[in-house]
């Protein structure tokens, strides 16, 4: 297909496609003339991935380039490739140099061991959860992660991982991971807030009926 058709089918403007080509984010098409190239389904998949990373994942161009480099590195195992994309979606957390932080990080490490989860030692998600535990304690919240652990395990093993085509194109696998992580996460957060509103109404209604 010509670049005009690629633009129409991907809903990405031609100048933007040319920018991705210059930046190496999109692989070149097959040159058929001095000023003409042909593109195929692999270019459509790559543009869908870039849009997912940019519009859904909200990643900066530098991070998108890192993810795409992992996708293009065929020597990189798919699990490692997906990990690079997954970590790019999370915030950058700087470990704090105090006892409260070290205690929280040790608790996170112990929790992962007890669950039998395979999470690398330097995974940024370990520090992210440790930071959350620290903030919860500082604000006087009870740290009880067990219900959230079970909800996460069930959602990931029974729903989310089934959406990723591990045996398909690498672009498609990363796109599915990004979309699933962000959108399922957003849907879960929204449903939880709706449930909170409903439960608040139920409890207030009970109190009013009982005259309390």
On average, the pLDDT of the chain sits at 91
Tens-digit pLDDT profile for residues 25-71: 999 998 888 778 999 999 999 999 899 889 888 889 999 999 999 99
Alpha helices in the chain (DSSP H): 3-10, 14-22, 41-51, 61-72, 78-89, 99-115, 124-138, 146-158, 170-179, 185-210
pLDDT of residue 196: 95
Lookup result for tokens 């070290």: 102
Average pLDDT of span 96-120: 94
Average pLDDT of span 110-133: 95
Instruction: Encode 134-163 in three state secondary structure.
Output: HHHHHCCCCCCCHHHHHHHHHHHHHCHHHH
Tens-digit pLDDT profile for residues 164-178: 999 989 999 999 999
Tens-digit pLDDT profile for residues 123-144: 999 999 999 999 999 999 999 9
pLDDT of residue 7: 93
Paired tokens of 60: 């900066």
pTM of the model: 0.81
For 70, 98, 210, the CA distances from 113, given in Å and listed in that order, are 28, 23, 47
Q: How confident is the model at residue 22 (pLDDT cuts 50, 70, 90)?
A: very high
pLDDT of residue 131: 95
Residue-by-residue DSSP string for 113-139: HHHT----TT-HHHHHHHHHHHHHHHT
Q: How confident is the model at residue 212 (pLDDT cuts 50, 70, 90)?
A: low
């Amino acid at each position: 297909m010509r670049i005009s058709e690629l633009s129409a089918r991907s809903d990405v403007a031609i100048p933007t496609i040319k920018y991705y080509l210059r930046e190496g984010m999109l692989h070149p098409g097959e040159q058929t003339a001095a000023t003409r190239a042909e593109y195929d389904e692999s270019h459509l998949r790559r543009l869908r991935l870039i849009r997912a990373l940019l519009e859904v994942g909200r990643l900066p161009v530098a991070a998108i380039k890192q993810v795409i480099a992992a996708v293009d590195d065929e020597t990189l195992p798919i699990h490692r490739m997906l990990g690079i994309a997954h970590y790019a979606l999370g915030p950058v957390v700087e470990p704090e140099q105090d006892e409260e932080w070290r205690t929280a990080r040790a608790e996170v490490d112990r929790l992962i061991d007890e669950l039998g989860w395979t999470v690398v030692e330097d995974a940024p998600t370990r520090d992210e959860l440790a930071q959350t535990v620290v903030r919860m304690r500082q604000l006087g919240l009870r740290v009880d992660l067990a219900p959230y652990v079970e909800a996460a395990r069930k959602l990931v093993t029974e729903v989310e991982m089934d959406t990723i085509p591990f045996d398909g194109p690498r672009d498609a696998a990363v796109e599915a991971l990004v979309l699933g992580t962000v959108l399922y996460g957003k849907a879960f957060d929204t449903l939880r807030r709706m449930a909170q509103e409903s439960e608040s109404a139920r409890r207030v209604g009970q109190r009013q009926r009982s005259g309390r």
